[in-house]
Structure formats: C-alpha cells, structure tokens
Chain A
Amino acid sequence: MSLIRLEPRGQASKTMVYVTPLLAVALTLFSGFILFLAMGFDPVKALHAFFIAPLTSVRGLGELVVKATPLVLCAVGLAIGFRANVWNIGAEGQLTLGAITGGGLALAFYGEGGWWLLPLMVIGGAVGGAVWAAVPAFLRLRFNASEILTSLMLNYVALLLLNYLVHGPYRDPDGFAFPESRLFEADAVLPILWSGTRVHLGALFALFAVAGGWLLIARTFIGFQIKVIGLTPAAAGYAGFDQKRIVWLALLLSGALAGIAGMGEVAGPIGQVTASISPGYGYTAIIVAFLGRLHPVGILLAALLMALSFIGGEAAQIAMGLPKAITGVFQGMLLFFLLASDVLIRYRVRFGTRRAVA
C-alpha cells in the first residue's frame, strides 16, 4: 500500500474551493523558483522582477488594470458559457472582430465624429463579437458540430481578416504602407480615468460586466437554468429548460463581451487598428475563468493576477533578459497546478499505510 493516498470526501469541501487557487499560485511560484535556478538566473531577483517590481509604481498599477480589463470582459462571458457546458474557445477571435467592427466605425466616421461615436463603437464591437460567436452556436445546434473546434478555428480566420484589413481597406493612406490604420481622433478614443496611466473607460465596462455577470448567475432564472444545464442536462430536459436558447445566449453574450474588449483595446491603449491587438487575451481569459472559479468576483481577482504575468513577463524580459516565452510558461503552470489541486475539493490526502486486513 502506498504511503500517500487520496480518500474521497463525503461532501465537496467548500474551503478547498477557495484554498486551491492560492495553493496553485504558491506551487507556481515555487516551480518558477526552481526553473529560474536551473536556467542560471538568480531566482529571488527574477521573481522580484516578475511579480513585485511592476506593482511598485503608479504606472505599473495602471498597466495592471489596462491588461486586466479585456481579460475580465472576456472571462465573465466565457464563465457563463462554461457553466452551461458551452465551451467557447473563440474569445480571441471574437475580441478581434470587435476591434475590427468597433475600429471600423471609428475609421468610417473619421473627421465627422461627435459624442455619439463612442457609444456607437461599443455597440458595433459587441455586435461584431456576437456575430462571430453566432457561427459556432449555429453550427452546434444545426449540425451538432463541437463549438470547441469551430470557435477555435474561427480565431485564425479572424486574425487573417484583420491582417487583410490593415494591409488593405483600413490602412492609413498617409502611413507609408505600414500595416496600420490612422490614429483615431479624440471622439473615437475612450477617455482616461486615472491620469498618469493608460487606465480607460473600458475598466468601468469590466466592472459592470462583473456586477451584471454576478446578477445573472446568482439571482436570475436564466442563471439557474444555466447551472442546471451545466450540471445535469437530463434534469434540464425534464424541467423543460430550452437548452438551445441557453447555447445561443451563452455564445452571443460571451461574443459581445469579447467584442467590447476588442473595441476597448483599439479605442483605448492602442488608439488605432494594427495587425496585433491582443497578446492572447482571449486564450488567457480561459485560464482566468477557471482560476476565478467561474465566479465574476473570482474572475476579477484572477484577471489581475494574470495581467501581472503579462506585465511581469515583459518587465523580466527587459530587466533580466529572460526569454519571451516565460509569460506563457507561468500561465501554463498556473492552470496546470490549479487543475491538479482541484482534486483536493473532492478528496483528502491521507498519509501512512492503510491498515492491513487482519
């Protein structure tokens, strides 16, 4: 008999639901320590550059919020879908579409904008993301095609579409053929909320998404239906919940939120449409959603942590000459340890041998 055993708990541990994300963070830091040591860097200095230094300046804190904004917007939508067993992996593509449609409106009304342009761009971004997400919803309900594959594949289509646009129709006529649009005029740029940083109005959208997501999940009958469908589809069928409607809702909602996130990037920190508008926010949002326990408030905290991994990765590249891949490695380790330690919710660890049969 082994020395360490897993023993099923009678009931899922409520404490462990909150403890395991912290455990995963601790294990990630520990592994990072070993990793830096093995690579020949001073692990204390590297971890400091990665996780502490960015938080010591106003600019760093601001950047944290800027990076967390699209993560929260995407992850809240994804979490609502994940709760209903709708596996939208396409937030990256939906975000890109939101940037294309929202940014497209800014370019279309270039020079003739007014107060109405920004609200129009928000709606345009939401519609763009939702339309992109409607494709996997339709394919799943009409042809039973897995939305995991279709939404993932559409990410690449969206990226190619963006590339075509910035090399063609969206290209700045005075831009010396660089694959970029014009810089948006003031009417098309989200106002800065915190001077001295790049924190923009999108951060408020993210907070609204958290509050709205919580209300939907915890208080509405739709949220209850989502929960039942996610846990036990047969019981949802018995109760008469319309599963098709929930699939549509989950995908359109998460698409719209991702679209708003994309619009927020081009109308916020970037200020124009370029070929690279996201360092993978849509993918990272999947980790954020799970790290935050598919709960909007948890997602807010998880998004700040993952934002730190983006900024810390950049800072560590500059300060220590660490490779760019370090960001991805840390994000991957975090998800890996989280999924692994989730076993503690249903099982407890026992040390020592099982008592032998007499």
Chain B
Amino acid sequence: MPSHAETFPPDAPPPRLELRGITKRFPGCLANDHVDLVLQPGEIHALLGENGAGKSTLVKMIYGVLHPDSGTMLWQGVETIVPDPAGARRLGIGMVFQHFSLFDTLTVTENIALGLDDAGRMDELADRIRSVSERYGLALDPERHVFHLSVGERQRVEIVRCLLQDPKLLIMDEPTSVLTPQEAAKLFETLRVLAAEGCTILYISHKLEEIRALCSRATVLRAGKVVGATDPRQETARSLAEMMMGAELSTPERPPQGAAGAARLSVRHLSTTSDNPFATNLKDVSFEVRAGEILGIAGVAGNGQAELMAALSGEMLVADADSVVIEGASAGHLGPRARRSLGLAFVPEERLGRGAVPELSLSENALLSGYAREPLVRGGMVHFGRARAYAETIIRGFNVVAHGHRAEARSLSGGNLQKFIIGREILQKPKLLVVGQPTWGVDAGAAAAIHKALIGLARSGAAVLVISQDLDELFVLSDRISVLFHGRLSDSRPTHETTVERIGLLMGGLFGTPPDEDGEITRAV
C-alpha cells in the first residue's frame, strides 16, 4: 500500500516500483549505499553513472539476480522480495541484458521457448512472436536460425522474449551499444510505444544524447549513492556527464592536422578465410594510414573488426605477404613480435585477457608488450628493475589510479587499465598505433584522457588507426572515416565532410557494393 502520502495523493496509483534505502556490500566495496528510486507507470527512466557506480548491481537486485543486504522494495505499493529472476518475471519484470544469451544453432522460436517458463506449443508460440513483433515494429522471422541474424535482430529476439510475458517494467542494459544509429532510432520508437501503453522502462546507458532524446527522468549514481535526479531533457550532455563524474569534463582539443606524411600502414586487397563458420571474412579490404593522421573505421561489431585486428596485429597471418605493408615492409607473413619491431603498437579490444593478463602485476604487464621495443630483457633474462620502472613511468605519465606497480591488472577499473595499456603502447614511441574500441565501457574522464593521448600521438607524427563502434568517438578523433560492413570496407571520407547519419547508413550496409555471393546483405530496417 502507498505509504508516502505526502508525495502521492491518496487516489493516485502507487508507483510501479519504489526502492527505499537499498544497500548492497561486496567484499571490499559498498556497491549500493541507501539507494532510493521511484519508477512511475509508463515512464522511461534513465539510470546513469560511470563504470562501477553501482548501476548493474542495482538492476540485478530488482531482477532478483542479487539480493540487497538491507532496504525495502515496493512493487505497485506492496512490499516485495524478489527471490530470483523467475520470480521477477512472474511479477512482470523483464530484462534485456547487454550480452545476449542466445544459441546460434537454434531458431528464434526455439531460443524464445528456452527462456519462457511456460512456452506451450511451438507453432502457437511462433504465431505469438509474429503478432508481438508486428505490434511493436520489431521485424523478426520466428523460423530463422540465430546465426543468420544481425546483432540488432538478435537484440529484438531478447526484447520479444520479454514482451511475450506482458512486462510492467522492462529493464534495458546498454541496449544501443551494438546498434547503428538507425537501428537505435527504431528501438526508441518501440520503447515509446511500450511506454505509452503503460509499461515502465528503466534504461541504462552511458550515451547521454540518447538519454536526452528518450527519457523523461534520470537518476544519477556515483560510487553507489544517488547523487541526483533530473529531467534529462532540461540538461546538456555535458552537464549530465559532469553530474556522473562529480567533476568538470575536459574535452580534448584537436589541433588542425598538418600535411599528412608518408604511408605508415598500407593494406592492399586484404582478404581472409577462416575455418570458423561464424567468422566474418574480410573481402578485398584496402586502405592507408599516413604519418600524422588518425583513420577511424566504424561498423557494428561482428562485421569483420576482429578479423581485421588479428590480420593487422599478426595474430592471424594472411596468405599474401604484400597485403599488409608496415613502414614499407611486407608484413603479411610476420608474427606480432616482428611487426612490433617494425614500429607497430597495438591496443586490442579486450583489455583484460588479451591486452593484459588479469592475474599478473602491472610491472609484468608492462613487460608483456614492452619487451619488444624497451630494454627490459637482456641475454634471455628479465630485467625486473627496469620493468618496474617502466610500469611506474606509465602509471605516472597517464594518471593510472592503482596501488603501484605491484597491483594486479584485474584490480584496476576498466578506465584505468585502458589508460595503462594505451600508455604502455604509446611510450614505446610507435610509428603506427592500431587501437580497437579505445574507450568501450570506460568512464567519461578516462575517455577524455585517452582521446587526448591518441590525438597527441598522431600530431607528433605517428599514424593511428582506430576501430570503434562508437560514432561519437570516431567523430571526435578521426581525420578520415571508413566503414566496415560484412567484411568489406567503404572508401574513406574526411570527417568534416560527412555526418553521423551518412556513416550510420554505411554501417547498415548501404554503400553500393554488390551483395556477396550468398546474398547476405538483407538487413531488416
């Protein structure tokens, strides 16, 4: 029953969900500290915060994955304990996770049936899927196998799975991080229809422009505490970011680019073949990165980024040695070590588990790639003193917040680890730096520092290649932008001559190349 009579008149319906003083402690950290949150029926409510602010912990408690240490949760005015996700679904709470849980080899209907508590007959379920997807404009063929689907379509499967249970509250965790701008716009239409029907949507994102376009309320978390609640439509992206950080945001300045120098990286007619049936093969990819410039490659994940990164780093060797040329030397047959000695430095997309070894200290992680261009190994023996000094130099030079060079890589936050890895690569004075998703999941403060470092490196004469899904980032960083789609690369355009919308269309595959042999370019819009 409604208890806060002063906030709600007696005849008004109770809020859909109310949290009072929710607290959750993990060993060594207080993830949520007396969090209060009120969600009204039919509102789209944003939950904002930097990484580690406690957003995920809070929604996991709402969805019954975790349980609060103390505090009260009122569901439609009634005090409720959510025992587990099945219990949450029975109440009418649905959640779309950032990482999908779908089986590639099953059909859409089969995948949805697996996630339902009472799936019923498969043909009836397929009919229900069709009617729900038509009603909300979520084009989806129930008979298709998931491995055929684009990332946007896979997300629709997850959303439809939730909608089939008539949710009263839908939680969406970073839903647009994998979508093109057009796909995101489509998703927003669906969410607005849902909200108009009375469904409450709790929307987690770090894309502030999106939140301003979509949400009518925003609750901001910092270090586990609610630090503000606001109407995002009345704020600027900058003021929201500063609210999240609790500090002023400095945007990197981009000095005008000088005359582009010689080509440091030339990729000529690069094609790959993979044994993995789910890999995206590169098809006749050609581009150049010149000294002093930043080339951005946009594209939705899964369009060949992983293959391009591996072919450039040397983790995957390519058939034609001349299709990858670093500093004038044919490098297609060279391994990562030899390419590093040519002047390549490399920041992979997965920072924990590829760019750094989680269990090792920062000084050992400095050695991981630093051995190639820094004097850290002599006569087969590791010079640990120098590795420590190198790690300390990185930590100081890039403001890495860590307990010294002894800290394990996994003990750092995503942003600090990324600063460390980028610092490790930049301090090797590379002639060419290849970076994947430089600020994915990194908080705004660290992202600004990383952008500044990348621009600084390019202006000092290195060539920088940035492969990212984040268009805002590419527009801040790049001098030229290309788009990767289904393993093909578009021609590059100077950044100031193009727009987010144009690049967005290219990310959806509209760049006039003929469809490939199996007619794969069938993107449902």
Q: Chain A interface (Cβ within 8 Å of chain B)?
A: 7-12, 219-224, 227-228, 231-232, 234-235, 237-242, 355, 357-358
A240 surroundings in chain B (CB, below 8 A): 314, 335-340, 372
Min CB distance B370 to A, Å, is 9
Min CB distance A357 to B, Å, is 5
Does B33 count as interface, using CB distance less than 8 angstroms?
A: no
Contact check: which of B67, B353, B359 meets A357 at CB < 8 Å?
B67
Contact check: which of A9, A235, A242 meets B354 at CB < 8 Å?
A235
Contact string, B292-331, partner A, CB cutoff 8 A, digits 1/0?
Answer: 0000000000000000000001110000000000000000
Min CB distance A142 to B, Å, is 16
Contact check: which of B335, B336, B356, B371 meets A221 at CB < 8 Å?
B371
Does B252 count as interface, using CB distance less than 8 angstroms?
A: no
Does B491 count as interface, using CB distance less than 8 angstroms?
A: no
14 A-B residue pairings within 8 Å (CB atoms): A10-B27, A11-B408, A12-B359, A224-B364, A224-B367, A227-B364, A232-B354, A234-B353, A235-B353, A235-B355, A237-B315, A238-B336, A238-B346, A238-B348
Min CB distance A349 to B, Å, is 13
Asked if residues B354 and A220 are in contact (CB atoms below 8 Å), the reply is no
Q: For residue B313, which residue of chain A has the nearest CB? A: A238
Asked if residues B315 and A358 are in contact (CB atoms below 8 Å), the reply is no
Asked if residues B67 and A239 are in contact (CB atoms below 8 Å), the reply is no
- From 338 to 389 in chain B, residues with beta carbon under 8 angstroms from any chain A beta carbon are 338-340, 346, 348, 350, 353-360, 364, 367-369, 371-372, 377, 380-382
A223 to B380, CA, bound (A): 10
Asked if residues A232 and B380 are in contact (CB atoms below 8 Å), the reply is no
Asked if residues A357 and B350 are in contact (CB atoms below 8 Å), the reply is no
Asked if residues B27 and A7 are in contact (CB atoms below 8 Å), the reply is yes
B69 surroundings in chain A (CB, below 8 A): 355, 357
Asked if residues B27 and A8 are in contact (CB atoms below 8 Å), the reply is yes
Does B411 count as interface, using CB distance less than 8 angstroms?
A: yes
Asked if residues A232 and B357 are in contact (CB atoms below 8 Å), the reply is yes
Does B505 count as interface, using CB distance less than 8 angstroms?
A: no
Does B51 count as interface, using CB distance less than 8 angstroms?
A: no
Does B28 count as interface, using CB distance less than 8 angstroms?
A: yes
Does B81 count as interface, using CB distance less than 8 angstroms?
A: yes
A219 surroundings in chain B (CB, below 8 A): 381-382
Min CB distance B34 to A, Å, is 13
Asked if residues B68 and A227 are in contact (CB atoms below 8 Å), the reply is no
Does B56 count as interface, using CB distance less than 8 angstroms?
A: no
Min CB distance A113 to B, Å, is 37
A242 to B337, CA, bound (A): 9
Asked if residues B70 and A220 are in contact (CB atoms below 8 Å), the reply is no
Does B261 count as interface, using CB distance less than 8 angstroms?
A: no
Does B72 count as interface, using CB distance less than 8 angstroms?
A: yes
B70 surroundings in chain A (CB, below 8 A): 355, 357-358
A12 surroundings in chain B (CB, below 8 A): 359
B381 surroundings in chain A (CB, below 8 A): 219-221
Min CB distance A237 to B, Å, is 5
A231 to B360, CA, bound (A): 9
Give the interface centre of A9, A221, A223, A228 by most chain B CB atoms within 10 Å.
A221
Q: For residue A239, which residue of chain B has the nearest CB? A: B368
Does B494 count as interface, using CB distance less than 8 angstroms?
A: no
The list of the 8 closest CB pairs from A to B, nearest first, reads: A240-B336, A240-B337, A10-B28, A234-B354, A232-B357, A221-B377, A10-B27, A235-B357
Min CB distance B154 to A, Å, is 24
Given A8-B27, A238-B346, A238-B354: A231 and B359 interface contact (C-beta under 8 Å): yes
A18 to B350, CA, bound (A): 33
Q: For residue B68, which residue of chain A has the nearest CB? A: A357
A234 surroundings in chain B (CB, below 8 A): 350, 353-354
Q: For residue B70, which residue of chain A has the nearest CB? A: A358
A10 surroundings in chain B (CB, below 8 A): 27-29
B377 surroundings in chain A (CB, below 8 A): 221
Extra 15 A-B pairs, beta carbons < 8 Å, given A222-B380, A224-B382, A238-B336: A7-B27, A10-B27, A220-B380, A221-B371, A231-B357, A231-B358, A231-B360, A234-B350, A234-B354, A235-B357, A238-B348, A238-B354, A239-B368, A240-B314, A240-B336
Does B397 count as interface, using CB distance less than 8 angstroms?
A: no
Min CB distance A85 to B, Å, is 13
A250 to B70, CA, bound (A): 52
Q: For residue A358, which residue of chain B has the nearest CB? A: B70
B72 surroundings in chain A (CB, below 8 A): 358
A11 surroundings in chain B (CB, below 8 A): 408, 411
B353 surroundings in chain A (CB, below 8 A): 232, 234-235
A221 surroundings in chain B (CB, below 8 A): 371, 377, 380-382
Min CB distance B363 to A, Å, is 11
A7 to B27, CA, bound (A): 8
A237 to B411, CA, bound (A): 23
A237 surroundings in chain B (CB, below 8 A): 315, 336, 354
Q: For residue A222, which residue of chain B has the nearest CB? A: B380
A222 to B382, CA, bound (A): 9
Give the interface centre of A10, A221, A232, A238 by most chain B CB atoms within 10 Å.
A238
Asked if residues B368 and A235 are in contact (CB atoms below 8 Å), the reply is yes
Min CB distance A271 to B, Å, is 39
A227 surroundings in chain B (CB, below 8 A): 360, 364
Contact string, B405-417, partner A, CB cutoff 8 A, digits 1/0?
Answer: 0001001000000
Does B87 count as interface, using CB distance less than 8 angstroms?
A: no
Does B441 count as interface, using CB distance less than 8 angstroms?
A: no
Give the interface centre of B336, B357, B359, B371 by most chain A CB atoms within 10 Å.
B357
A77 to B451, CA, bound (A): 47
Does B71 count as interface, using CB distance less than 8 angstroms?
A: yes
- From 221 to 245 in chain B, residues with beta carbon under 8 angstroms from any chain A beta carbon are none
A105 to B354, CA, bound (A): 48
Min CB distance B85 to A, Å, is 16
B315 surroundings in chain A (CB, below 8 A): 237-238
Q: For residue A237, which residue of chain B has the nearest CB? A: B315
Give the interface centre of A223, A231, A358 by most chain B CB atoms within 10 Å.
A358
B338 surroundings in chain A (CB, below 8 A): 240
A235 to B81, CA, bound (A): 43
Min CB distance A14 to B, Å, is 12
B372 surroundings in chain A (CB, below 8 A): 240
Min CB distance A82 to B, Å, is 15
A10 to B25, CA, bound (A): 12
Q: For residue B23, which residue of chain A has the nearest CB? A: A358
Q: For residue B28, which residue of chain A has the nearest CB? A: A10
